[in-house]
Amino acid sequence: MKRRDFMKSSLLAASAAAAGKVGMVSGLLGHGMAHAAVPQAGVPNIALSNGMSIPQFGLGTWTLNENTIACVKAAIEAGYRLFDTAQAYGNEKQVWQGIKESGIARKEVFITSKIWTSSMRNPPQRDSIAKSIELLGGEYIDLFMIHWPVKERIRETWESMEEFVRKGLIKSIGFSNFNPHHIETLLQYAKIKPVVNQIEIHPYHTQEANVAATRNHGIAVESWSPLARGEVLHEGVLRDIGKKYNKSAAQVVLRWHIERGLIVIPRSKNPAHIAENIRIFDFELSKDDMAAISGLNRNTSSIGADPDNFSW
């Protein structure tokens, strides 16, 4: 499928979902993907290459710390069903606690977590993975990812993650901060294929090439720091576009991710922002607006992150 056709099908699915119809988006530019549908507050699902699906919108939980439980509960109340945590965030237990306290059924939510670099460097990696599963309710994790590509440890970590999939304790596996060459190497030995690459994407770092290269392997792309940690929100162009649709700058940016077919996980500790951020499934940006937002690109990471050269 060409990018233009993909954008069109993404929009159609998103509008159908917003209209209360069954909505499903292929985030893969691929074929034969299973289509399931759970439109929560109009949130479409993205089909994954293993036949499963993931809500296209959710809550990021980095630095929520002692606010995690309250934020997860507020998000569930607002219609969020996807929650992104990581060993490094130190709040896997609190994410689970928030879900439990909300009273929602486990199968209604999609939990993602990630193995940290220190756990990768200290084998057996399976110990820290088992700990994540335990902290996140003890039953299963929907999607577990390698957080950063610690080059010399990727293979053994991946093979440990595959063991958990075989046991049914992890449903899908993927990675974060992988460049195309990391993906190509992993695909040479992976017995269980990756379904998601979570990378930094926002209007200052649009990452077209990495998104296209990842999708060429049938892997869906998820945007981290989708609001550039709030830094992009002062841009006048976003406010001007927002006025046309009666939306905030944050909603405009989040809608830009959705229309690119990306999975998006904004973080907020403010309940009003949490509720505002999910109200993006009742409008569509024009082609010109999409281009104007992409025009803010500077090809710069908000935290100076480089997957080929990092010190953590």
Ligand X SMILES: NC(=O)c1ccc[n+]([C@@H]2O[C@H](COP(=O)([O-])OP(=O)(O)OC[C@H]3O[C@@H](n4cnc5c(N)ncnc54)[C@H](OP(=O)(O)O)[C@@H]3O)[C@@H](O)[C@H]2O)c1
- Name the residues that contact ligand X, by CB under 6 A: 60-62, 84, 147, 176-177, 198, 224-230, 233, 248, 250, 265-270, 273, 276-277
Residues 311 and 284: beta-carbon distance below 8 Å: no
Say how far apart CA 251 and CA 280 lie, in whole Å: 6
Instruction: Return all residues near 286 (Cβ < 8 A) that are at least 6 apart.
Output: none
Q: Tell me whether residue 21 or residue 181 sits nearer to ligand X (CB atom).
A: 181
Q: At residue 184, what are phi and psi to the nearest 5 degrees?
A: -60, -40
Cβ atoms within 10 Å of 306's Cβ, excluding its own: 11
CB of residue 140 to ligand X, shortest distance in Å: 20
Q: Tell me whether residue 16 or residue 220 sits nearer to ligand X (CB atom).
A: 220
Q: Tell me whether residue 200 or residue 289 sits nearer to ligand X (CB atom).
A: 200
Active-site position among 89, 140, 204, 245? 89
89 counts as catalytic: yes
Residue nearest to ligand X (CB): 60
Q: Tell me whether residue 128 or residue 277 sits nearer to ligand X (CB atom).
A: 277
Q: What is the 3-state secondary structure (H, E, C) of 237-268?
A: HHHHHHHHHCCCHHHHHHHHHHHCCCEECCCC
Q: Tell me whether residue 222 or residue 259 sits nearer to ligand X (CB atom).
A: 222
Catalytic residue numbers, as ranges: 89
